């Protein structure tokens, strides 16, 4: 219980528009839709729902997705993709086969597939990011799907897309070369050497179909994997030249942890990103390459993994509820802190996807036939995505730390973005203290008169409650001519 009279944690921060980490890439605010539980069926897609359009897209969910501000959406998995035949999800709905989904022990109706997903992304205002099956399938099927999606016409597969109603190419740029291929649970799991060779071959062939694609090699499923680091090194030795990004997945489970220990998880994400960057750069140096890879943190979130009940998948079921975690305010603070961490790495993280989007460990929940609502984790994502513009500023809060299993953790976590064009500054702050509020003093003298209205003496003072997050957008004076 926080003490009402507790002394605030004192933090100071100096910001200067001249000292930046890198540009804010809107792709940092991505999300993820997998054929898992009710993410697709009765999540984003529910023909017959009162809010559904003629394609079965729930407009109540679409409204929330737009409000969330998801910029990129990864699809169709996740573990699901490693047994997926993309052709099943194309063509007339009545002709689509029902299949066993081996990853989640479910029945897949294939009523929703690639074409529906790309259309749905357009409605949501998000860029599609497609994952390829490199588990049970390989290079040929990857190339086929790319031809189906991106080739304008005049070939068997591009004409098939046109027959399916899409005259224009889908023009999908971002592609994941498989999913979590380092994990023994993955259907078609491979050794690093096998996967690296397959990723390289597939990437080369894909670039022959469409040289504009941006390709993501599978990194580690989490930093606790015994192969973390060595997997990336071996894989990238083979495909460094042919890919653009390497993935990292990071989930944080609050179960059995004190709140400070749980919130310390953001430090793990911070170090994991640094480790992947260092490994990729090491390979780049050995190859005498000038190219620098980006990291795609294409699955991250709070996930109560320990609540997984194997009984939920004992029977072969179609779109039954799975992993429908309910989040609280501490989880929302963790999500804010993980976003702060991602922004602080804006120079090397090129894509990030909150996993997942609807119902499955998600910021949005739905009832079949009923309402859709926001979870606590919705607000930090939506507010930070809306505020982060321009460049990420270097921000090193001076504040006391506490000890945790992952090391010394600053009680206050912070980052800031500044948009030179509009003159807008935004601060994203987290107080990790469980029993003390925080007072953050931010020196903004380097902004001159622009912030005179909010900080007449060049100092902003921001208060946070214990275990909380805030996005602060100090009013800037209008810029001449704007
Ligand atoms: O997001 C849930 C699952 O977590 C994904 O299917 C898999 O990629 C990861 O292990």
Domain boundary at 346, 368, 387, which? 387
Whether 55 contacts 155, CB under 8 Å: no
Whether 179 contacts 142, CB under 8 Å: no
Q: Which two tokens stand for residue 126?
A: 């998000």
Q: How many Å apart are CA 115 and CA 41, to the nearest integer? A: 15
409 and 420 belong to one structural domain: yes
294 and 399 belong to one structural domain: no
The three-state DSSP-derived secondary structure of the chain is: CCCCCCCCEEEEEECCCCCEEEECCHHHHEEECCCCCCCCECCCECCCCCCECCCCEEHHHHHHHHHHCCCEEEECCCHHHHHCCHHHHCCCHHHCCCEEECCCCEEECCCCCHHHHHHHHHHHCCEEEEECCCCCCCHHHHHHHHHHHHCCCCCHHHHHHHHCCCCCCCCCCEEEECCCCCCCCCCCCCCHHHHHHHHHHHHHHHHHHCCCCEEEEEEECCCCCCCCCHHHHHHHHHHHHHCCEEEEEEEECCCCCCHHHHHCHHHHHHHHHHHHHHHHHHHHHHCCCCCCCEEEEEEEEECCHHHCCHHHHCCCEECCCCCCCCCCHHHHHHHHHHHHHHHHCCCCEEEEEEECCECCCCCEEECCCCCEEECCCHHHHHHHHHHCCCEEECCCCECCEEEECCEEEECEEEEEEEECCCCEEEEEEEECCCCCCEEEEEECHHHHHHHCCCCCCCEEEEEECCCEEEEECCCCCCCCCC
The reported pLDDT for the residue numbered 1 is: 56
Q: Which residues of the chain have pLDDT under 50?
A: 480-482
88 and 162 belong to one structural domain: yes
Q: How many Å apart are CA 174 and CA 280, to the nearest integer? A: 19
Angle at 362 between CA 358 and CA 365, to 5 degrees: 55
236 and 266 belong to one structural domain: yes
* 234 CA from centroid of ligand 1 (Å): 23
Domain boundary at 387, 406, 422, which? 387
Q: How many Å apart are CA 375 and CA 365, to the nearest integer? A: 7
362 and 472 belong to one structural domain: no
CA dist 155 → 67, 108, 122, 159, 170 (Å): 39, 29, 25, 6, 15
190 and 64 belong to one structural domain: yes
| Shortest-distance atom of ligand 1 to CA 251 | 4
Catalytic-labelled residue, pool 46, 116, 127, 180? 180
To the query of whether residue 180 is one of the catalytic residues in this protein, the response is yes
* Residue of 78, 135, 325, 360 with the most ligand 1 atoms within 8 Å of its CB, for mutation: 78
The reported pLDDT for the residue numbered 477 is: 61
- CATH code where residue 480 lies: 2.60.40.1180
4 and 54 belong to one structural domain: no
Decide whether any atom of ligand 1 lies within 6 Å of the 179 Cβ.
Answer: yes
Decide whether any atom of ligand 1 lies within 6 Å of the 335 Cβ.
Answer: no
- CATH code where residue 300 lies: 3.20.20.80
* 196 CA from centroid of ligand 1 (Å): 21
To the query of whether residue 299 is one of the catalytic residues in this protein, the response is yes
Domain boundary at 333, 368, 387, which? 387
100 and 216 belong to one structural domain: yes
254 and 370 belong to one structural domain: yes
Give the position of tokens 């894509």.
351
349 and 432 belong to one structural domain: no
Decide whether any atom of ligand 1 lies within 6 Å of the 254 Cβ.
Answer: no
Q: How many Å apart are CA 237 and CA 154, to the nearest integer? A: 37
Q: Residue 83's domain spans which residues? A: 25-387
Number of domains in the chain: 2
């Amino acid at each position: 219980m926080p003490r009402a009279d507790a002394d605030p944690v004192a933090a100071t921060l100096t910001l200067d528009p001249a000292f930046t980490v890198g540009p804010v890439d809107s792709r940092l605010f991505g999300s993820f839709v997998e054929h898992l539980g009710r993410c697709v069926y009765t999540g984003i897609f529910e023909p017959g729902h009162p809010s559904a359009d003629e394609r079965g897209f729930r407009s109540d969910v679409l409204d929330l997705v737009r409000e969330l501000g998801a910029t990129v959406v990864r699809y169709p998995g996740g573990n699901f993709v490693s047994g997926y035949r993309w052709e099943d999800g194309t063509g007339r709905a009545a002709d689509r086969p029902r299949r066993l989904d081996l990853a989640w022990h479910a029945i897949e109706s294939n009523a929703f597939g690639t074409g529906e997903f790309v259309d749905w992304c357009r409605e949501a205002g998000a860029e599609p990011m497609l994952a390829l099956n490199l588990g049970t399938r390989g290079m040929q099927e990857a190339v086929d799907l790319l031809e189906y999606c991106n080739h304008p016409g005049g070939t068997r597969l591009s004409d098939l897309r046109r027959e399916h109603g899409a005259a224009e190419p889908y023009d999908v740029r971002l592609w994941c070369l498989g999913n979590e291929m380092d994990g023994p649970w993955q259907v078609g799991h491979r050794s690093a050497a096998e996967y690296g060779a397959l990723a390289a071959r597939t990437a080369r062939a894909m670039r022959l179909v469409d040289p504009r694609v941006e390709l993501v090699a599978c990194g580690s499923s989490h930093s606790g994997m015994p192969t973390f680091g060595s997997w990336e090194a071996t894989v990238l030795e083979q495909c460094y030249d042919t890919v653009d990004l390497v993935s990292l997945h990071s989930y944080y489970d609050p179960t059995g942890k004190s709140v400070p220990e749980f919130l310390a998880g953001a430090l793990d994400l911070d170090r994991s990103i640094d480790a992947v960057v260092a490994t990729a750069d090491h390979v780049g140096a050995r190859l005498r390459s000038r190219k620098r890879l980006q990291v795609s943190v294409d699955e991250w979130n709070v996930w109560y993994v320990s609540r997984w009940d194997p009984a939920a998948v004992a029977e072969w079921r179609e779109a039954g509820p799975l992993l429908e975690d309910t989040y609280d305010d501490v989880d929302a603070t963790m999500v804010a802190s993980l976003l702060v961490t991602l922004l602080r790495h804006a120079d090397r993280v090129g894509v990030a996807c909150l996993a997942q989007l609807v119902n499955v460990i998600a910021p949005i929940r739905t009832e079949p036939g009923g309402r859709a609502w926001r979870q606590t984790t919705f607000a930090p994502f939506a507010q930070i995505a809306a505020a982060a513009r321009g460049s990420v500023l270097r921000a090193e809060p001076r504040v006391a730390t506490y000890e945790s299993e992952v090391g010394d953790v600053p009680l206050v976590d912070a980052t800031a973005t500044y948009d030179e064009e509009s003159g807008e500054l935004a601060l994203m702050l987290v107080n990790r203290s469980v029993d003390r509020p925080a007072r953050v003093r931010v020196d903004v003298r380097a902004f001159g008169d622009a912030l005179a209205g909010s900080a007449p003496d060049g100092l902003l003072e921001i208060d946070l409650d214990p275990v909380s997050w805030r996005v602060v957008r100090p009013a800037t004076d209008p810029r001449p001519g704007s």
